[in-house]
Amino acid sequence: MAELDWKNLSFGYLKTDYNIRSYFRNGAWTKPELTSDETINIHMAATVLHYGQAAFEGMKAFRGEDGKIRIFRPEENAKRMRQSAEYLIMAVPPIDMFVDMVKEVVRANERFVPPYGTGASLYIRPVLFGTGPRVGVKPADEYVLIIFVTPVGPYYKSGFNTVKFMIDRDHDRAAPLGTGHIKAGGNYGASLISSEMAHKLGYAGVLYLDAKEKKFIDECGTANFFGIRGKSYITPKSHSILTSITNMSVMTLAEEMGLTVEKRPVEFAELPTFEEVGACGTAAVISPVGEIYDPEHKYTYVFNEGKPGKWGKKLYHKLRAIQYGEEPDTHGWNLIL
């Protein structure tokens, strides 16, 4: 086991022993290989540098109370990366190869999987990008898939406590018929101006509205939005929202707990009717949102008196219990090494 302060890890990069890589050349993927090299040499005309041919994923591995390592739903990440690759006209990694690479790199870095009970996890980051040189705007003929890992603590420093968001009507993270539905690197580049503005003002992040009318709730940039009203779990549906694997899982759990799940366009006007609001994603897991500030109307929406709500707590603890092997994984979500 690596000598780290497991209980006080930030959500950032720490060097581990290995990453794993496969190259797409001459129409085929090479056999994946582990390496300790943290760098990569690419051509100065590589499409990733000029035309943004890049997509990534994020998932986590957990050390359970039984000592076993569980990787949460890697096949779903493989499917989502394939969707991103297809949309960006990149070489599409086979699901089996992707999952095998994830398993191999986690095993190779087993000493960096945080101990059970620390609240930390091993974050797994696959990234796919174009390395082939192009000057004209067209797809590359060569690509690389790299998967690296790093031990992390909570995405938000507050852990499972409420966070504050603000609304940004002056910037959009994705166009209505653009790349919002895939995990393209460019989506996150477009969100930096908003997130940095929010951080400087003391907010954890931004709640985006739809780019076309500013009438509907979109997402939180790094996570999906959900609201609880009565016994309904309500989450937005839009082409510009990335389908969150965490949200998929939470919706299943919500139904099992007796909530009605509504995935549909959610009007901004509904915001004050929610008793609880949250953001969910691989990095954030579930983060209860206590306040959302609307600078246009200089108004702050407060949910559940600014405290974590009962349904957010139940969903969070249920999901974490499955990920750590504390409760039965009845859906077969965990890949156990």
Catalytic choice (60, 164, 183, 318): 183
Q: Record the tokens describing residue 118, joined without a space.
A: 């620390």
- Note whether 86 and 76 are within 8 A (CB): no
What are the backbone angles phi and psi of residue 322, rounded to the nearest 5°? Answer: -70, -45
Residue 161 C-beta-side C-alpha neighbours within 13 Å:
5
- Note whether 65 and 83 are within 8 A (CB): no
> Is 237 among the catalytic positions?
no
Alpha carbons 232 and 189: distance in angstroms, whole number: 33
Alpha carbons 135 and 133: distance in angstroms, whole number: 7
Alpha helices in 34-94 (DSSP H): 47-50, 74-87
- Note whether 247 and 273 are within 8 A (CB): no
Task: Specify the DSSP element, H or E, that contains 273.
Answer: none
- Note whether 335 and 99 are within 8 A (CB): yes
Q: Record the tokens describing residue 263, joined without a space.
A: 């995935």
Three-state secondary structure call for residue 264: strand
Alpha carbons 155 and 124: distance in angstroms, whole number: 14
Active site residues: 183
